[in-house]
Amino acid sequence: MRLSPALCRTTRLAFAACGLAAALAGCGGDELTVAPQRIALSASPNGIAVRASDGAAFITGDQTSSVLSSPDARTFAHYASVPTVAGQSNSLSQLSFTDDGTLMIERFGFGTASAVFSISGKDTVAALSGPDPARRRLGLISISSNRLLSTWFIKSGSNPAQGGLTLITYDLNAHTAVERDLLTGLGKPVGVAVSGDTVYVSDQANNDIVKASLSALLGASQAVTPSATFVQISSPDLTAIDPHGTLYTKCNATGLCRIAQDGTISVVANDFQDARGVAVDAPRGRLYAIDRAGSTGGTSYVRIFPLN
Protein backbone atom coordinates (compact mmCIF):
# COMPACT_ATOMS: atom_id res chain seq x y z
CA MET A 1 0.00 0.00 0.00
CA ARG A 2 1.52 3.32 -1.12
CA LEU A 3 0.22 6.35 0.80
CA SER A 4 0.31 9.82 -0.71
CA PRO A 5 1.17 12.85 1.48
CA ALA A 6 -2.39 14.13 1.01
CA LEU A 7 -3.89 10.90 2.29
CA CYS A 8 -1.47 10.93 5.18
CA ARG A 9 -2.81 14.34 6.23
CA THR A 10 -6.49 13.49 5.93
CA THR A 11 -7.08 10.27 7.86
CA ARG A 12 -6.00 9.06 11.26
CA LEU A 13 -5.28 5.57 9.95
CA ALA A 14 -3.02 6.90 7.23
CA PHE A 15 -1.33 9.20 9.73
CA ALA A 16 -0.51 6.24 11.95
CA ALA A 17 0.71 4.28 8.95
CA CYS A 18 2.91 7.16 7.82
CA GLY A 19 4.40 7.43 11.28
CA LEU A 20 5.31 3.75 11.14
CA ALA A 21 6.65 4.09 7.60
CA ALA A 22 8.73 7.09 8.59
CA ALA A 23 10.33 5.07 11.32
CA LEU A 24 11.27 2.47 8.73
CA ALA A 25 12.02 4.30 5.53
CA GLY A 26 9.99 7.53 5.22
CA CYS A 27 6.30 8.17 4.58
CA GLY A 28 5.19 7.20 1.10
CA GLY A 29 7.81 4.46 0.73
CA ASP A 30 6.97 1.05 -0.67
CA GLU A 31 8.16 -0.74 2.49
CA LEU A 32 4.81 -0.29 4.27
CA THR A 33 2.36 -3.08 3.54
CA VAL A 34 -0.16 -2.79 6.41
CA ALA A 35 -0.76 -0.68 9.49
CA PRO A 36 -1.15 -2.60 12.76
CA GLN A 37 -4.73 -3.83 13.09
CA ARG A 38 -6.88 -5.56 15.72
CA ILE A 39 -9.96 -7.48 14.51
CA ALA A 40 -12.47 -8.70 17.09
CA LEU A 41 -13.59 -12.34 16.88
CA SER A 42 -16.70 -14.21 17.99
CA ALA A 43 -14.66 -17.33 18.66
CA SER A 44 -12.16 -18.90 21.06
CA PRO A 45 -9.22 -19.17 18.65
CA ASN A 46 -5.89 -20.90 19.00
CA GLY A 47 -4.28 -21.70 15.65
CA ILE A 48 -4.10 -19.55 12.52
CA ALA A 49 -2.87 -20.11 8.97
CA VAL A 50 -2.79 -17.88 5.89
CA ARG A 51 -3.11 -19.22 2.37
CA ALA A 52 -0.20 -17.83 0.37
CA SER A 53 -2.02 -17.84 -2.97
CA ASP A 54 -4.71 -15.31 -2.00
CA GLY A 55 -4.06 -14.19 1.60
CA ALA A 56 -7.20 -15.85 3.00
CA ALA A 57 -6.94 -16.41 6.76
CA PHE A 58 -8.11 -19.52 8.62
CA ILE A 59 -8.47 -19.81 12.39
CA THR A 60 -9.61 -22.49 14.82
CA GLY A 61 -12.68 -21.94 16.98
CA ASP A 62 -12.88 -23.99 20.15
CA GLN A 63 -16.44 -22.94 21.01
CA THR A 64 -17.82 -24.81 18.01
CA SER A 65 -14.85 -27.11 17.27
CA SER A 66 -14.56 -25.63 13.83
CA VAL A 67 -12.35 -23.82 11.37
CA LEU A 68 -13.38 -20.30 10.36
CA SER A 69 -12.14 -18.50 7.27
CA SER A 70 -11.98 -14.95 5.96
CA PRO A 71 -10.77 -13.58 2.63
CA ASP A 72 -9.33 -10.50 4.35
CA ALA A 73 -9.00 -11.44 8.07
CA ARG A 74 -11.90 -9.17 8.94
CA THR A 75 -15.14 -11.14 8.78
CA PHE A 76 -14.75 -14.82 9.66
CA ALA A 77 -17.34 -17.43 8.70
CA HIS A 78 -17.73 -21.18 9.15
CA TYR A 79 -15.47 -23.27 6.93
CA ALA A 80 -15.43 -26.78 8.40
CA SER A 81 -16.45 -28.64 11.56
CA VAL A 82 -13.94 -30.87 13.33
CA PRO A 83 -15.39 -33.93 15.13
CA THR A 84 -15.75 -33.54 18.88
CA VAL A 85 -15.25 -36.05 21.69
CA ALA A 86 -18.16 -36.74 24.02
CA GLY A 87 -17.54 -35.45 27.53
CA GLN A 88 -14.35 -33.62 26.52
CA SER A 89 -13.74 -29.91 26.05
CA ASN A 90 -13.13 -28.69 22.51
CA SER A 91 -9.51 -27.79 21.84
CA LEU A 92 -8.04 -27.43 18.37
CA SER A 93 -4.37 -26.79 17.81
CA GLN A 94 -2.33 -25.57 14.84
CA LEU A 95 -3.38 -25.35 11.19
CA SER A 96 -1.04 -25.86 8.23
CA PHE A 97 -1.45 -25.86 4.45
CA THR A 98 0.16 -28.56 2.34
CA ASP A 99 1.79 -27.84 -1.02
CA ASP A 100 -1.41 -28.81 -2.85
CA GLY A 101 -3.63 -26.57 -0.71
CA THR A 102 -5.06 -29.14 1.69
CA LEU A 103 -5.54 -27.75 5.18
CA MET A 104 -4.28 -29.98 8.00
CA ILE A 105 -5.36 -29.57 11.63
CA GLU A 106 -4.86 -31.25 15.00
CA ARG A 107 -7.19 -31.93 17.91
CA PHE A 108 -5.42 -31.60 21.27
CA GLY A 109 -7.21 -34.61 22.77
CA PHE A 110 -6.36 -34.18 26.48
CA GLY A 111 -4.37 -37.40 26.65
CA THR A 112 -7.00 -39.74 25.18
CA ALA A 113 -8.30 -38.49 21.85
CA SER A 114 -5.81 -36.41 19.90
CA ALA A 115 -6.14 -36.68 16.15
CA VAL A 116 -4.94 -35.26 12.85
CA PHE A 117 -7.47 -34.25 10.19
CA SER A 118 -7.30 -33.21 6.55
CA ILE A 119 -9.66 -30.55 5.23
CA SER A 120 -9.70 -30.68 1.45
CA GLY A 121 -12.55 -28.18 1.03
CA LYS A 122 -15.46 -26.57 2.79
CA ASP A 123 -16.91 -29.11 5.26
CA THR A 124 -14.79 -31.88 3.73
CA VAL A 125 -12.99 -33.29 6.77
CA ALA A 126 -11.32 -36.68 7.23
CA ALA A 127 -9.43 -38.13 10.19
CA LEU A 128 -6.10 -39.88 9.67
CA SER A 129 -5.85 -43.21 11.44
CA GLY A 130 -2.49 -44.15 12.92
CA PRO A 131 -1.20 -41.26 15.10
CA ASP A 132 -1.15 -42.05 18.83
CA PRO A 133 -4.31 -40.54 20.44
CA ALA A 134 -2.63 -40.39 23.89
CA ARG A 135 -0.25 -37.68 22.70
CA ARG A 136 -1.50 -34.15 23.33
CA ARG A 137 -0.82 -32.39 20.03
CA LEU A 138 -0.08 -28.69 19.62
CA GLY A 139 2.28 -27.64 16.83
CA LEU A 140 1.91 -28.74 13.22
CA ILE A 141 3.65 -27.90 9.96
CA SER A 142 3.59 -29.44 6.51
CA ILE A 143 7.02 -30.17 5.04
CA SER A 144 5.82 -31.81 1.80
CA SER A 145 2.62 -33.04 0.19
CA ASN A 146 2.38 -36.08 2.45
CA ARG A 147 4.54 -35.33 5.49
CA LEU A 148 3.90 -33.31 8.63
CA LEU A 149 5.91 -32.40 11.69
CA SER A 150 3.87 -32.53 14.89
CA THR A 151 4.80 -31.53 18.44
CA TRP A 152 3.27 -33.51 21.29
CA PHE A 153 3.57 -34.26 24.98
CA ILE A 154 2.19 -36.75 27.48
CA LYS A 155 1.25 -35.99 31.07
CA SER A 156 0.71 -38.64 33.74
CA GLY A 157 -0.65 -37.44 37.07
CA SER A 158 1.72 -35.06 38.85
CA ASN A 159 4.74 -36.17 36.81
CA PRO A 160 6.39 -33.55 34.60
CA ALA A 161 5.23 -33.41 31.00
CA GLN A 162 7.38 -35.28 28.50
CA GLY A 163 7.23 -34.61 24.80
CA GLY A 164 8.87 -34.55 21.43
CA LEU A 165 8.66 -33.92 17.71
CA THR A 166 7.29 -36.53 15.36
CA LEU A 167 7.14 -37.09 11.60
CA ILE A 168 3.71 -38.05 10.32
CA THR A 169 3.69 -39.59 6.85
CA TYR A 170 0.16 -39.93 5.50
CA ASP A 171 -1.98 -41.14 2.61
CA LEU A 172 -4.96 -38.85 2.01
CA ASN A 173 -6.73 -41.36 -0.22
CA ALA A 174 -6.62 -44.11 2.40
CA HIS A 175 -6.86 -41.66 5.36
CA THR A 176 -3.98 -43.44 7.08
CA ALA A 177 -0.76 -42.21 8.65
CA VAL A 178 2.45 -43.56 10.17
CA GLU A 179 4.17 -41.72 13.01
CA ARG A 180 7.91 -41.73 13.72
CA ASP A 181 9.64 -39.91 16.57
CA LEU A 182 12.40 -37.48 15.56
CA LEU A 183 13.13 -35.57 18.77
CA THR A 184 12.45 -36.70 22.33
CA GLY A 185 13.51 -35.49 25.75
CA LEU A 186 11.52 -32.25 25.57
CA GLY A 187 9.13 -30.98 28.21
CA LYS A 188 6.05 -29.38 26.63
CA PRO A 189 6.93 -28.70 22.99
CA VAL A 190 4.39 -26.37 21.42
CA GLY A 191 5.42 -24.56 18.26
CA VAL A 192 7.41 -25.90 15.32
CA ALA A 193 8.90 -23.97 12.40
CA VAL A 194 11.27 -24.84 9.56
CA SER A 195 13.72 -22.60 7.70
CA GLY A 196 15.86 -24.33 5.13
CA ASP A 197 17.35 -27.36 6.85
CA THR A 198 16.81 -26.01 10.36
CA VAL A 199 13.81 -26.99 12.47
CA TYR A 200 12.92 -24.97 15.57
CA VAL A 201 10.76 -26.26 18.44
CA SER A 202 9.49 -24.09 21.28
CA ASP A 203 9.48 -25.88 24.65
CA GLN A 204 7.09 -24.14 27.02
CA ALA A 205 8.04 -26.26 30.02
CA ASN A 206 11.73 -25.36 29.71
CA ASN A 207 11.24 -21.77 28.49
CA ASP A 208 13.42 -22.22 25.45
CA ILE A 209 13.52 -22.86 21.74
CA VAL A 210 15.71 -25.68 20.47
CA LYS A 211 16.96 -26.22 16.95
CA ALA A 212 18.20 -29.16 14.92
CA SER A 213 19.06 -30.19 11.38
CA LEU A 214 15.89 -31.48 9.74
CA SER A 215 17.79 -33.69 7.29
CA ALA A 216 19.76 -35.20 10.16
CA LEU A 217 16.57 -35.94 12.08
CA LEU A 218 14.90 -37.51 9.07
CA GLY A 219 17.99 -39.59 8.29
CA ALA A 220 18.59 -40.84 11.83
CA SER A 221 17.78 -44.46 12.65
CA GLN A 222 16.10 -43.46 15.91
CA ALA A 223 14.89 -40.39 17.77
CA VAL A 224 17.52 -38.09 19.24
CA THR A 225 17.53 -35.58 22.08
CA PRO A 226 18.09 -31.91 21.24
CA SER A 227 21.73 -30.85 21.31
CA ALA A 228 21.38 -27.11 20.74
CA THR A 229 19.28 -24.50 22.55
CA PHE A 230 18.65 -21.61 20.20
CA VAL A 231 17.37 -19.12 22.79
CA GLN A 232 15.96 -18.96 26.30
CA ILE A 233 12.57 -17.22 26.23
CA SER A 234 9.76 -17.11 28.77
CA SER A 235 6.50 -18.91 27.91
CA PRO A 236 6.92 -19.54 24.16
CA ASP A 237 3.92 -20.91 22.31
CA LEU A 238 3.02 -21.64 18.68
CA THR A 239 5.57 -20.26 16.23
CA ALA A 240 5.96 -18.97 12.70
CA ILE A 241 9.00 -18.05 10.64
CA ASP A 242 9.46 -15.54 7.83
CA PRO A 243 11.52 -15.96 4.64
CA HIS A 244 14.53 -14.32 6.32
CA GLY A 245 14.58 -16.91 9.12
CA THR A 246 13.10 -14.64 11.80
CA LEU A 247 10.94 -16.49 14.33
CA TYR A 248 7.78 -15.17 15.99
CA THR A 249 6.19 -16.50 19.17
CA LYS A 250 4.63 -15.55 22.46
CA CYS A 251 7.01 -14.22 25.11
CA ASN A 252 6.35 -13.53 28.79
CA ALA A 253 2.76 -13.09 29.95
CA THR A 254 1.59 -10.42 27.51
CA GLY A 255 4.18 -10.24 24.75
CA LEU A 256 4.71 -11.29 21.16
CA CYS A 257 8.39 -11.42 20.18
CA ARG A 258 10.55 -11.76 17.12
CA ILE A 259 13.78 -13.71 17.27
CA ALA A 260 16.47 -12.96 14.70
CA GLN A 261 18.73 -15.62 13.24
CA ASP A 262 21.51 -14.62 15.65
CA GLY A 263 19.19 -15.16 18.63
CA THR A 264 18.47 -11.48 19.30
CA ILE A 265 15.00 -11.11 20.83
CA SER A 266 12.85 -8.01 20.34
CA VAL A 267 9.23 -7.26 21.26
CA VAL A 268 6.63 -6.81 18.52
CA ALA A 269 3.91 -5.89 21.04
CA ASN A 270 3.54 -6.23 24.79
CA ASP A 271 -0.21 -5.76 25.28
CA PHE A 272 -1.58 -9.21 24.43
CA GLN A 273 -4.13 -10.98 26.60
CA ASP A 274 -2.69 -14.33 25.55
CA ALA A 275 -0.68 -14.69 22.34
CA ARG A 276 -1.34 -18.05 20.67
CA GLY A 277 -1.04 -18.92 16.99
CA VAL A 278 1.06 -16.83 14.62
CA ALA A 279 1.28 -16.91 10.83
CA VAL A 280 3.45 -15.16 8.26
CA ASP A 281 1.91 -13.91 5.02
CA ALA A 282 5.14 -13.25 3.13
CA PRO A 283 3.61 -12.22 -0.24
CA ARG A 284 1.69 -9.40 1.44
CA GLY A 285 4.26 -8.58 4.14
CA ARG A 286 2.03 -9.33 7.09
CA LEU A 287 2.34 -11.06 10.43
CA TYR A 288 -0.85 -12.46 11.96
CA ALA A 289 -1.23 -13.32 15.65
CA ILE A 290 -4.06 -14.68 17.76
CA ASP A 291 -4.80 -12.66 20.90
CA ARG A 292 -7.02 -15.00 22.91
CA ALA A 293 -9.25 -13.72 25.69
CA GLY A 294 -8.55 -14.96 29.20
CA SER A 295 -10.54 -17.62 31.02
CA THR A 296 -12.63 -14.98 32.80
CA GLY A 297 -14.07 -13.71 29.52
CA GLY A 298 -13.55 -10.84 27.12
CA THR A 299 -12.99 -10.59 23.39
CA SER A 300 -10.43 -12.46 21.33
CA TYR A 301 -8.72 -10.82 18.37
CA VAL A 302 -6.71 -11.43 15.25
CA ARG A 303 -3.91 -8.89 15.24
CA ILE A 304 -1.96 -7.93 12.12
CA PHE A 305 1.48 -6.33 12.02
CA PRO A 306 3.78 -5.36 9.16
CA LEU A 307 6.76 -7.61 8.66
CA ASN A 308 10.05 -5.78 9.09
- We report the CATH number of the domain holding residue 260 as 2.120.10.30
* Partners of 186 in the β-ladder: 163
For 174: left if phi > 0, alpha if psi spans -120 to 50, otherwise beta; the answer is alpha
Distance (Å, rounded) from C-alpha 143 to C-alpha 148? Answer: 6
Into how many domains does the chain fold? 2
Distance (Å, rounded) from C-alpha 178 to C-alpha 118? Answer: 15
Q: Are residues 17 and 137 in the same domain?
A: no
In the chain, what percentage of residues exceed pLDDT 70?
89
Distance (Å, rounded) from C-alpha 161 to C-alpha 213? Answer: 24
Eight-state DSSP code of residue 292: P
Distance (Å, rounded) from C-alpha 242 to C-alpha 34? Answer: 16
Calculate the CA 163 to chain-centre distance. 18
Q: Are residues 53 and 155 in the same domain?
A: yes
Q: Are residues 167 and 202 in the same domain?
A: yes
Q: Are residues 87 and 148 in the same domain?
A: yes
- Residue 254: count of CB within 10 angstroms of its CB: 16
Q: Are residues 11 and 96 in the same domain?
A: no
Domain limits for position 262: 38-306
Q: What does the pLDDT read at residue 279?
A: 98
Q: What does the pLDDT read at residue 104?
A: 98
Q: What does the pLDDT read at residue 34?
A: 64
Q: Are residues 100 and 4 in the same domain?
A: no
pLDDT, tens only, 174-227:
999 999 999 999 999 999 999 999 999 999 999 999 999 999 999 999 999 998
Q: Are residues 172 and 75 in the same domain?
A: yes
Q: Are residues 23 and 90 in the same domain?
A: no
Q: Are residues 284 and 186 in the same domain?
A: yes
Which ranges of the chain have pLDDT less than 50?
1-32
Residue 81 CB-density burial (10 A; 0-12 exposed, 13-18 middle, 19+ buried)? middle
Alpha helices in 231-286 (DSSP H): none
Distance (Å, rounded) from C-alpha 210 to C-alpha 116? Answer: 24
Q: Are residues 64 and 143 in the same domain?
A: yes
Residue 126, H or E segment? strand 124-128
Instruction: Identify which of 190, 135, 186, 183 has the alpha carbon closest to the alpha carbon of residue 163.
Output: 186
Q: What does the pLDDT read at residue 228?
A: 84
Residue 1 CB-density burial (10 A; 0-12 exposed, 13-18 middle, 19+ buried)? middle
Q: What does the pLDDT read at residue 17?
A: 38
- pTM (global) more than 0.75: yes
Per the CB < 8 A criterion, the answer to whether 131 and 116 are in contact is yes
Q: Are residues 275 and 213 in the same domain?
A: yes
Q: Are residues 197 and 251 in the same domain?
A: yes
